[in-house]
Amino acid sequence: MRAMSLPLLFAQLAALLATFVAGSAVAAETRIPDAALAAATQLRERALADDTGWKVVESLTTEVGPRLAGSEADARAVEWAKAKFKALGYDKVWTEPVTFPKWERRSEHAEVLGAHAQPLVLTALGGSPGGTVEAEVVRFASLDALKAAPEGSLKGKIAFVDYQMQRYRDGHDYRNGGGIRHAGPSEAIRKGAIAFLMRSAGTDTSRAPHTGVTSFDDGLTPIPSAALSTIDAAQLARLVALDPHTRVRVALDCGWDGEYTSQNVIGEITGRKHPEQVVLLGGHLDSWDPGTGAIDDAAGVGISMAAGALLKPLHPARTIRVVAYSNEERGLYGGKAYAEKHAGEIARHVIVSESDFGAGRIYSFNSSAPAPAKAAIAQIAGALAPLGIATVDGEGGPESDVGPIAELGATWASLGHDGTHYFDVHHTAEDTLDKIDTKDLAQNVAAYAVFAWLAAQAEGDFGSKPRAAEPAKH
Amino acid sequence: MRAMSLPLLFAQLAALLATFVAGSAVAAETRIPDAALAAATQLRERALADDTGWKVVESLTTEVGPRLAGSEADARAVEWAKAKFKALGYDKVWTEPVTFPKWERRSEHAEVLGAHAQPLVLTALGGSPGGTVEAEVVRFASLDALKAAPEGSLKGKIAFVDYQMQRYRDGHDYRNGGGIRHAGPSEAIRKGAIAFLMRSAGTDTSRAPHTGVTSFDDGLTPIPSAALSTIDAAQLARLVALDPHTRVRVALDCGWDGEYTSQNVIGEITGRKHPEQVVLLGGHLDSWDPGTGAIDDAAGVGISMAAGALLKPLHPARTIRVVAYSNEERGLYGGKAYAEKHAGEIARHVIVSESDFGAGRIYSFNSSAPAPAKAAIAQIAGALAPLGIATVDGEGGPESDVGPIAELGATWASLGHDGTHYFDVHHTAEDTLDKIDTKDLAQNVAAYAVFAWLAAQAEGDFGSKPRAAEPAKH
């Protein structure tokens, strides 16, 4: 996941503002019929006892395994998703192309040189160029400390930002950890550094480093950029304290290699009464390469595929559309492609959601629905409450891949997972099937199924409408 | 550590029998003076508040890092140990050569081939030859299941023993896990296999595979032999269940490369009254290469070095000798060399011990001392009791490197660490400084300091004497 990046936060605030301003245009109050609420109770219990979500996650992580966007496994994942939608009884299954530059990781090594020679475990950041560098390391406790370094002071050196992310239920310290990953390399280049190292953006104590995408500001020449495991970062910090002239060798073999066209894979349970109106669920199909992408994001794929499958026998009034997005990890390519292709159908996306924050128990529910739909949102919240889910004001937002369509005016709903341990294994080799609790996953499926069912049965809409053009942006 | 192997168990039983038979030869009852017991109380409290042990462990794991026997870091570790003994105020510091065949790990890779292609994380077993193999995998749930396979049934295939070790305080399931590692490859060869894989002998759920030494029975041609991480083993088990013809590629670059001479590094606090009589403490200096050998066995080195240093101002009556043994991991080379060199001084080794089971709290105390010394052992046990240590009949034995000298007749004492989590990280990349709890380590140091102090002050001996020659062995 890449949620809670600053651009997305701004998008969310802008969307909230837009729906607030436009709110008065929504006519009658949206309501959910009593029969639908009664059916939701049964649906919830059925979902809690169902293992479809788990089986989907097991199948994707085992049979496809790691599936870096653009890799050979990307194509296998697309075939897998098509077959799985069909096996689950979805009424329509299709793909929509997503094109992006291909980045490959081939090998990565690092070692301390000299009197305390020893290997260091690291992983290249997605988007890093390859290269081999031997140089002195300069440690900074934070991104701000790196920013404060004098101009040119890192000439010929390796910048090392050694910030330890903290655990929170809503994962908000990823703003710091992920922020260093995004902005650190460019800051290092501006100070003259020839390579960039960071303590992994992770809350674990382990030798498994956390990868994740980075980028380089326009006009800068990219440098090899990598994350040390939290343990290796602590070791390097001790060694630099012992000897400020500690030298390290970083050897990355990775980089860009042309373009690749993958696919968003889409399955639908066709609506009985309003087939053209869509309740949008999903997760992303790609993963980083070190693990098998269980919590990020086979879980989201499994939760949304299973929720849709559970609704099929109920014949929902609106269409339940599940998207397995392509290449979320390197920049929301799937989410952007979906929004672009469906930009003319914003009002028909009655409410949009994605599960891309693991498989911890869902504890919060929120939505950008405007006033006339707030009562219906409260009805959904009421049906979710027995699952231990409460509306937490200010939490939530459109998860990664639905950010782009929410920006275009679609109303989002968010079901917030407990992310206390999400960043223990996020983007590491440890993101594997065993990290998912079957009962928690069933709770996730139940929550999404209940939400999607009630949104599909609601009489009246949730305020999705194309946003007014913003001339200032053109 | 390599304790609890069957040969050592037999040695222990034989030693017990020998001391029992010889017991009547020990004259007066051994006693510990009241003044020594009173001083032990102060010593215990001082040790609990002291961080020398921690600092030694931090220094070895940071400044030397991984130190595979025979590697460049082996020589640095020897220099480190000499300097550290001197810095801690030891009266005498010297080295004794230890020669062994050198084994190197250069690279190791594995991957599932075909429709479910994906990498597998494994590590070569110490002593494995290199080689690249692509073949079908045959899974066995246990070593017995492999043994029961028909002759020749694994011709051209890869044997995979998939046994999951269980956690116990005394770590006794290492008998199964380590047993598979030792005996599995030869069994596989006898059935025709061209490579051997096992689920790591570990109690964790992680991607960090557990290495450790293996050996090949005489007359067999060694095959590439490696341990998968527990997670990768579970993944491979699922894939083999999906497709019994699952093929795997294993590529190990490792093997033997001549001989190497390292050193046992020895430090002494010279006894005030009986300088020639030795209370033997120690740990092993070498480690496996993936981690920094914190629990295995920087802890033992730190505990014993710190215990000796704490005794120096007390001017113990007997000599406290601390040995940092060379190359324990590939076959007790340091312990055997020490026993061979000091075979003529068994009676002067009044009691011998080693700490080589991590840094969990010490909970048990035991000794092979015969009847006339049992009262003194009980006095020591009484002094250890406030640390939460009890005598547990039947638990304990001579830890790895003192096994050989105990076989020659030296009385052993054992201070048993809580090993519940020892095999979570044992022989993996995760065996690092952060796994050690500073308070637990101080308790370990206190226990060894109290034991060594009282053994040094005891009036009378603990029954060490050369074992009668066993003509049957010649």
Alpha-carbon distance B178 to B197, whole Å? 13
Task: Write out the DSSP string of B285-342.
Answer: S---SSS--IIIIIHHHHHHHHHHHHHGGG--SEEEEEEEES--TTT-HHHHHHHHHT
Q: Which of A237, A242, A240, A239 is nearest to A164 (CA)?
A: A237
CATH assignment of the domain containing B43: 3.40.630.10
Q: Which residues of A touch B207 (CB under 8 A)?
A: 208, 291, 429-430, 432
Q: Please indicate, yes or no, if residue B96 is contained in any of the structural domains.
A: no
A-chain CB neighbours of B205 within 8 Å are: 434
- The per-residue pLDDT for B324 is 98
Q: Tell me, what CATH number does B133's domain have?
A: 3.50.30.30
pLDDT at A27: 56
**Residue A261 domain-assigned (yes or no):** no
If one counts every other C-beta atom within 10 angstroms of the C-beta of residue A4, the result is 20
H-only helix segments in B150-298: 174-190, 230-242
Beta-carbon separation of B235 and A73 below 8 A: no
Question: What pLDDT was estimated at residue B19?
Answer: 46
- Does residue A247 belong to any structural domain of this protein? yes
Domain boundary among A221, A256, A291: A256
Do residue B369 and residue B279 come from a single domain? yes
Could you tell me if B386 and B361 are in contact, meaning their C-beta atoms sit under 8 angstroms apart?
Answer: no
pLDDT single digits (tens) A419-443: 999 999 999 999 999 999 999 999 9
Question: Is B473 domain-assigned?
Answer: no
Total count of domains within chain B: 2
Specify whether B281 is located in the same domain as B359.
Answer: yes
B315 and A CB contact within 8 Å? no
**Distance, in angstroms, between A171 CA and closest chain B CA?**
22
Distance of alpha carbon B307 from alpha carbon B324, whole angstroms: 13
CB contact under 8 A, A72 and B231: no
DSSP state of A467: P
pLDDT at position B17: 45
Q: Could you give the count of Cα atoms lying within 13 Å of A180 in the half-sphere of its Cβ?
A: 31
The CB density around residue A359, as the number of other CB atoms within 10 Å, is 31
**Mean pLDDT value across residues B403-417:** 98
Containing domain of residue B235, as a range? Answer: 105-256
Are A294 and A61 in contact, with CB atoms under 8 Å apart? Answer: yes
**Total Cβ atoms within 10 A of residue A83:** 14
The pLDDT score that the predictor gives to residue B392 is: 78
C-beta atoms of B63 and A242 within 8 A: yes
Closest CA to A354 of A51, A74, A1: A1
Give residue A463's pLDDT: 97
**Spatial contact of B457 and B284, defined as CB atoms under 8 Å apart:** no
CB contact (8 A) between residue B432 and residue A116:
no
Whether residue B237 sits in one domain with residue B192: yes
Determine, for residues A235 and B208 on separate chains, whether the beta-carbon distance falls below 8 Å.
no
What count of CB pairs under 8 Å joins A to B? 84
B1 belongs to a structural domain: no
CB A325 within 8 A of CB A285: yes
Which residue, among A61, A231, A425, would best test binding to B if mutated, counting the most B CBs under 10 Å from its CB? Answer: A231
Beta strand A158-161 pairing with A131-140? parallel
The least confident of A317-331, A417-431, B26-40, B103-117 is B26-40
Q: What's residue A394's pLDDT?
A: 77
CA distances for B321 relative to A340, B74, B268, B271, B277, angstroms: 75, 21, 4, 10, 10
**Do B76 and B112 fall within a single domain?**
no
- B-proximal residues of A, 31-60, CB under 8 Å: 58
Q: Which of A256, A289, A316 is a domain's end point?
A: A256
* ipTM score of complex: 0.92
Do residues B398 and B406 make contact, with C-beta atoms less than 8 angstroms apart?
Answer: yes
Closest Cα in chain A to B292: A118
What does the pLDDT read at residue B470? 55
| Of the partner residues B73, B235, B429, the one whose CB lies closest to the CB of residue A62 | B235
Query: Do B86 and B172 belong together in one domain?
Result: no
Whether chain A has a CB inside 8 Å of the CB on B207: the answer is yes
Indicate yes or no: CB of A117 within 8 angstroms of CB of B73.
Answer: yes
Taking a contact as any Cβ pair under 8 Å apart, which residues of chain B between 68 and 87 contact chain A? Answer: 72-73, 76
Q: Quick check: A373 and A462 in contact, CB under 8 A?
A: yes
Number of Cβ within a 10 Å radius of residue A288: 26
Residues A312 and A406 in one domain: yes
Per-residue confidence (pLDDT) for residue A395, from 0 to 100: 79
Looking up tokens 């920006």 gives A407
Which residues sit opposite B133 in a β-bridge? B250
Query: Is residue A228 less than 8 Å (CB to CB) from chain B?
Result: no
Same structural domain, A202 and A240? yes
How many angstroms separate the first and last alpha carbons of chain A? 29
Closest listed residue to residue B225, CA positions, set B255, B196, B192, B194: B196
State residue A2's pLDDT score: 43
B148 lies in a domain? Answer: yes
Tell whether B110 lies on the interface with A, counting CB pairs under 8 A: no
Whether A238 has its CB under 8 Å from any CB of chain B: the answer is yes
Q: Match 């026997």 to its residue by tokens.
A: B69
CA dist B305 and B90 (Å) reads 9
Same domain (yes/no): A63, A113: no
CB nearest to B430's CB, from A63, A115, A206: A206
Of A456, A455, A449, A356, residue with least CA distance to A47: A449
**Non-local CB neighbours of A100 within 8 Å, separated by 6+ positions:** A69, A70, A259, A260, A262, A326, A327, A330, A331, A333
Interface contact A432-B66, CB threshold 8 A? no
Nearest CA-CA distance, residue B266 and chain A, Å: 23
**Among B106, B116, B118, the residue to mutate for chain A (most A Cβ within 10 A):** B118
Q: Is residue B55 part of a domain?
A: yes
| Same domain flag for A226 and A337 | no
A388 and A363 Cβ atoms separated by less than 8 Å: yes
How many whole angstroms separate alpha carbon A411 and alpha carbon B398?
70
Q: What is the mean pLDDT of residues B264-276?
A: 98
pLDDT at B27: 56
d(CA B221, CA A196): 47
Mean pLDDT by 10 residues, chain A (474 residues): 44 46 59 98 98 98 98 98 98 98 98 98 98 98 98 97 97 96 98 98 98 98 98 98 98 97 98 98 98 98 98 98 98 98 98 98 97 96 98 86 98 98 98 98 98 98 87 44
CA-CA distance, B143 to B471, in Å (whole number)?
A: 35
Residue of B8, B273, B246 whose CA lies nearest to B138:
B246
pLDDT band at B393; cut points 50, 70, 90: confident
Please give, rounded to a whole number of angstroms, the shortest distance from the CA of A450 to a CA of chain B. 32
Asked whether residue A441 falls in the same domain as residue A296, the answer is yes
What is the widest separation between alpha-carbon atoms in chain B? 75
Stated as kind and residue range, the H or E segment containing A268 is: strand A247-269
Helix (H) or strand (E) holding B374: helix B374-384
Q: First CA to last CA across chain B, in angstroms?
A: 29
- B251 to chain A, any CB pair closer than 8 A? The answer is no
Average pLDDT, chain B: 94
Q: List the structure tokens of A267.
A: 């399955």
- The answer to whether position B280 is within a domain reads yes
Contact A208, A429 (CB under 8 A): yes
Q: What is the pLDDT of residues A74-127, one digit of tens each?
A: 999 999 999 999 999 999 999 999 999 999 999 999 999 999 999 999 999 999
Of A256, A284, A311, the residue at which a domain comes to its end is A256
- What's the rounded Cα separation, in Å, for the pair A326 and B432? 38
Give phi and psi for B414, each to the nearest 5: -130, 135
Q: Do B238 and A62 touch (CB under 8 A)?
A: yes
- Give the minimum alpha-carbon distance from B110 to chain A in angstroms, rounded to a whole number: 14
Which of B319, B325, B329 has its CA nearest to residue B263?
Answer: B325
| Model pLDDT, residue B396 | 86
Tokens of B201: 């002998």
Q: Is the pLDDT of residue B367 over 60?
A: yes
- Would an 8 Å CB–CB cutoff place A118 in contact with chain B? yes
Q: What is the pLDDT of residues B189-225, one digit of tens each?
A: 999 999 999 999 999 999 999 999 999 999 999 999 9
Instruction: Determine the Cα–Cα distance for residues A136 and A150; give it in Å rounded to an integer.
Output: 17
Asked if A62's CB is within 8 angstroms of B121's CB, the reply is no
The reply to whether B348 and B315 lie within a common domain is: yes
Nearest-Cα distance to chain B for A113, in Å, is: 12
The answer to whether B4 touches B174, Cβ cutoff 8 Å, is yes
Predicted pLDDT of residue A468: 77
Classify residue A79 by its DSSP letter: H
Residue B27 shares a structural domain with residue B109:
no
Paired sense of beta strands B131-140 and B122-124, if any: unpaired
pLDDT at B468 over 80: no
With beta carbons under 8 A apart, name residues in chain B contacting A242: 62-63
